Amino acid sequence: MRIEKNTVVSLNYELTDDTGKILEKTDTPISYLHGGYGGIFPLVEEALHEMEVGYSCSVSMEPEDTFGEYDAELIRVEPRSSFPDNVAVGMHFEGGAEGSDDIIIYQVTEVADDTVIVDGNHPFAGLRLIFACTVTEVRPATAEEITHQHVHGAHGHEH
């Protein structure tokens, strides 16, 4: 079966930076709904379109194709009193950018006596990434998956 709009594609992948450092790697296949639903990077989806099980590719992507450029304005210094007592480096908190209703996930990067520094950039922001993958399965999406615009079941989202 070919990968087309409204098919569920399962694949193994390895995500590396441009030095070859592995950033993510699957142990078991992941699945996404093909056809512009936002379940995978658009350039990867484009490379996989009309391919079949067993197809392998490597897609090089610039920051604007993935998580965007690193934005220094997303680093914030907050009062220590705004956080729970057990705040630690690596924890994540939701917050809003100044003057915006958008919610951003901030990661704690430093904890001091009076302040906490958080960063709202994705950890891979500003990096050129290489997404190498092999297609392991292709199947028609169910009507429910198409309506919900994501995969249900073994490798996808469960309700």
pTM of the model: 0.83
Answer yes or no: same fold for 7-66+125-148 and 72-119.
no
**Amino acid symbol at 88:** A
56-85 mean pLDDT: 96
Domain parsing of the chain, residue ranges:
7-66+125-148, 72-119
Instruction: Count CB neighbours of 39 within 10 A.
Output: 19
Q: What is the mean pLDDT of the chain?
A: 94
Between vectors from CA 127 to CA 125 and to CA 133, what angle results, nearest 5°? 105
- What does the block give as tokens for 78? 């907050």
In CATH terms, the fold of domain 7-66+125-148 is: Chitinase A; domain 3 (3.10.50)
Q: Please give the class, per CATH, of domain 72-119.
A: mainly beta
How does pLDDT run across 73-132, given as a tens digit for each residue? 999 999 999 999 999 999 999 987 667 788 999 999 999 999 999 999 999 999 999 999
Q: What is the CA radius of gyration of the chain?
A: 19
Which residue in the block uniquely carries the two structure tokens 């615009």?
Answer: 149
State which H helix or E strand residue 11 sits in.
Answer: strand 7-17
